């Protein structure tokens, strides 16, 4: 528990009240020296009484406004947060220039390997699709999908199953396609069931009408 960081978070002029409350909770988990913490999204959701989707949006807001930095976890590890990163001394320490020349061929090889290496990883906490990806998916299916809700389900489901992907964007596209197809099939099933019930109701009414007429005829 970092009392100084919590006090700093409380005194900070953060205009978004939910983001400010989230910052206080993060400070409660952080250490005083490195400003570092790694609570899970579910833990933050529990502590703040906000949904995971809301926590995710506020984390992005805090990161965009410079209140924290994130090192997203891989292979099941939690995301690491550094709050008030500008206060950390080593963040502002310039890197000493090296007089040792680096072979150009080795540098290029290192970059190439990094760009072409195709490794699979588990969907990290806080992953959300980019705006361009959301627009592309909406345009393909010609409707506005609730990407906040679907991304939350996508992350929770695949973290629970432990499945890994080479491309989170491609996996999310597939997830949204399945969601729309499932919803469409469910709607058709519901319509068929309603139609079937209506038909059965009409048949029952007709049957009872015939029985009533027969009884009336026998009485006459």
Q: For residue 39, what are its two tokens?
A: 């609570």
Q: Is the residue at 38 inside a domain?
A: yes
Residue 144: DSSP 8-state? -
pTM of the model: 0.45
Instruction: State residue 4's pLDDT score.
Output: 85
**Crossing angle, helix 17-29 and helix 3-11, to 10 degrees?**
170
* Cα–Cα distance, 16 to 9 (Å, whole number): 12
Q: For residue 188, what are its two tokens?
A: 């058709």
Q: For residue 89, what are its two tokens?
A: 């001394």
CATH number at residue 53: 1.10.10.10
Q: Is the residue at 44 inside a domain?
A: yes
Instruction: State residue 112's pLDDT score.
Output: 35
Each residue's pLDDT tens digit, 65-120: 999 999 876 555 678 999 999 887 554 444 444 455 544 444 443 333 333 345 78
Q: Is the residue at 147 inside a domain?
A: no
- Domain total for the chain? 1
| Residue numbers of the domain that contains 62 | 3-89
Instruction: State residue 67's pLDDT score.
Output: 93
Q: Is the residue at 52 inside a domain?
A: yes
Q: Is the residue at 73 inside a domain?
A: yes
Q: Is the residue at 151 inside a domain?
A: no
Instruction: State residue 139's pLDDT score.
Output: 92
Q: Return the number of other C-beta atoms located less than 10 Å from residue 47's C-beta.
A: 17
Q: Is the residue at 8 inside a domain?
A: yes
Span 160-171, average pLDDT:
87
């Amino acid at each position: 528990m970092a009392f100084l960081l919590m006090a700093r978070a409380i005194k900070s002029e953060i205009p978004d009240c939910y983001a400010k409350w989230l910052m206080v909770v993060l400070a409660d988990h952080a250490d005083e020296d490195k400003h570092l913490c790694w609570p899970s999204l579910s833990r933050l959701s529990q502590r703040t009484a906000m949904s995971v989707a809301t926590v995710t949006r506020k984390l992005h807001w805090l990161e965009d406004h410079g209140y924290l930095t994130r090192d997203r976890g891989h292979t099941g590890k939690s995301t690491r947060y550094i709050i008030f990163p500008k206060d950390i001394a080593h963040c502002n320490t310039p890197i000493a220039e090296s007089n040792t020349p680096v072979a150009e061929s080795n540098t290029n090889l290192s970059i190439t390997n990094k760009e072409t290496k195709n490794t699979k990883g588990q969907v990290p906490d806080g992953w959300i699709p980019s705006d361009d990806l959301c627009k592309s998916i909406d345009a393909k299916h010609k409707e506005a999908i609730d990407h906040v809700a679907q991304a939350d389900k996508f992350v929770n489901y695949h973290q629970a199953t432990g499945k890994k992907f080479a491309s989170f964007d491609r996996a999310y596209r597939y997830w949204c396609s399945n969601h729309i197809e499932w919803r469409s099939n469910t709607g058709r099933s519901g319509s068929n069931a309603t139609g079937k019930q209506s038909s059965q109701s009409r048949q029952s009414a007709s049957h009872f009408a015939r029985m009533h007429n027969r009884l009336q005829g026998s009485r006459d």
